[in-house]
């Protein structure tokens, strides 16, 4: 049996690693990893293949100079389709909600190859977000839907997905987190910061291992592609830096926008804000685990914070991961109110925290459950849309 795993962006590479390992242990499976080229820079791609012991993938030509999200998705889907034709895959597996996820789902559907979607059923309710449209599309095309939390099951059933296609299996990101933790725990966070910092920042001189820091990440389009939103967030980060150190690994997309709009210098010159180059997974987990509080718009970091027991402020009006809110370690904050963000950071900096409580099935064995279900599933005779087609005009 040949199973094609589609990955193309930083979060995909992390989540595909446990699946690759689990599939590789089966003597009857030939897993093949396809890199869509969405994130092709070495510090956003190759570093994860090396650290997570992933094999050299089949590579699509990188996607560059395409600003439109949907055009980039379609370009990737055509490249993926060429590779899938040569593989004669029995299943295609896509993960998460990035453009590579939608591209892989479209390619599999066009070729009539059964599709499995890992992290299915997550919904934030905002169709303006590319990630939300990608989730809906991948779920619509999938014959097997692997879900991380009970809310995802409820969302799929509400939309008419047949229950026999839905499998609550846990979270492959947490599998990857447990696998990288021993390496991350051997690192000192000041060493990680100094090794990855942009040179010449005054804030490097003021870091104190005893005092701690707030960790910040930003990459979503609604935060970094909107000048007003990004300017407000920069004001919040600078303001927080007047109260406590802030460590900020900068996504390449975010750096481009900061420089384009003249917002890089205020951060770079802030006396207690340290800007970092993109990080390896173990470096990032080291910084997450040792942070006093995390500010982020990342879905994965919301989940990791729950397991690591670190308070998280999600810089978005909604989340597709409600289980993180129920844990007591995550809350939503408005990106347009810098002073409110500061107040919540100060609150979590000082507040006692509950003991971490792992959500059901977040035990590091999600990939095993997925592979067991995938190998036992009969190959569908037809891969026509398995449920109502009415959602797709809103997506495509």
- Which residues belong to the active site? 219
* Spatial separation of the C-alpha atoms in residues 139 and 115, rounded to whole Å: 9
List, in order, residues 6 or more apart from 336 with CB less than 8 Å away: 228, 229, 232
Task: Sort 50 into a burial class: Cβ within 10 Å, 0-12 / 13-18 / 19+.
Answer: exposed
Strand order in the sheet with 115-120: 58-59, 30-35, 2-7, 91-95, 115-120, 144-147, 166-168
List, in order, residues 6 or more apart from 67 with CB less than 8 Å away: none
Residues linked to residue 94 through DSSP beta bridges, in sequence order: 117
> Measuring CA to CA, how many Å separate 7 from each of 34, 98, 288, 337?
6, 9, 24, 35
Q: What is the DSSP letter of 217?
A: -
Residues of 268-285 as b/e, b for ≥16 C-beta within 10 angstroms?
A: bebebbbbbebbbbbbbb
Task: Sort 252 into a burial class: Cβ within 10 Å, 0-12 / 13-18 / 19+.
Answer: middle
Tracing tokens 């007591």 back to the chain, one arrives at 328
> Measuring CA to CA, how many Å separate 221 from each of 38, 68, 284, 311, 375?
15, 12, 21, 24, 37
């Amino acid at each position: 049996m040949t199973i094609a795993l589609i990955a193309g962006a930083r979060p995909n590479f992390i989540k595909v690693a446990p699946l690759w390992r689990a599939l590789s242990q089966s003597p009857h499976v030939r897993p093949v990893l396809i890199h869509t080229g969405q994130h092709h820079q070495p510090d956003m791609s190759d570093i994860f293949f090396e650290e997570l012991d992933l094999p050299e993938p089949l590579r699509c030509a990188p996607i560059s100079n395409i600003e439109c999200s949907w055009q980039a998705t379609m370009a990737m889907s055509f490249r993926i389709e060429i590779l899938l034709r040569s593989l004669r895959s029995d299943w295609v597996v896509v993960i998460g909600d990035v453009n590579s996820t939608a591209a892989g789902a479209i390619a599999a559907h066009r070729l009539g190859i059964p599709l499995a979607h890992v992290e299915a059923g997550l919904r934030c309710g905002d169709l303006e977000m590319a990630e939300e449209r990608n989730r809906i599309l991948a779920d619509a095309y999938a014959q097997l839907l692997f879900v991380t939390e009970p809310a995802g099951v409820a969302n799929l059933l509400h939309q008419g997905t047949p229950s026999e296609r839905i499998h609550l299996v846990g979270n492959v990101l947490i599998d990857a987190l447990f696998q990288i933790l021993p390496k991350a725990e051997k690192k000192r966070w000041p060493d990680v910061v100094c090794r990855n910092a942009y040179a010449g920042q005054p804030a490097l001189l003021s870091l104190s291992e005893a005092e701690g820091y707030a960790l910040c990440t930003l990459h979503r389009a609604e935060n970094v592609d909107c000048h007003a939103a990004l300017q407000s967030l920069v004001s919040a980060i600078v303001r927080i830096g007047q109260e406590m150190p802030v460590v900020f690994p900068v996504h390449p997309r975010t750096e481009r926008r900061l420089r384009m709009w003249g917002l890089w210098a205020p951060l770079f010159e802030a006396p207690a804000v340290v800007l970092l180059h993109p990080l390896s997974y173990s470096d990032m987990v080291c910084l997450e685990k040792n942070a006093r509080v995390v500010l982020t718009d990342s879905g994965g970091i919301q989940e990791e914070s729950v397991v690591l027991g670190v308070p998280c402020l999600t810089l978005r009006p909604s989340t597709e991961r409600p289980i993180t809110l129920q844990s007591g370690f995550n809350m939503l904050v408005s990106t347009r109110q810098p002073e409110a963000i500061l107040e919540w950071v100060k609150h979590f900096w000082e507040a006692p925290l509950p003991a971490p409580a792992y959500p059901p099935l977040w035990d590091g064995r999600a990939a095993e459950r997925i592979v067991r279900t995938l190998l036992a599933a009969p190959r569908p005779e037809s891969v026509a849309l398995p449920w109502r087609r009415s959602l797709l005009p809103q997506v495509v």
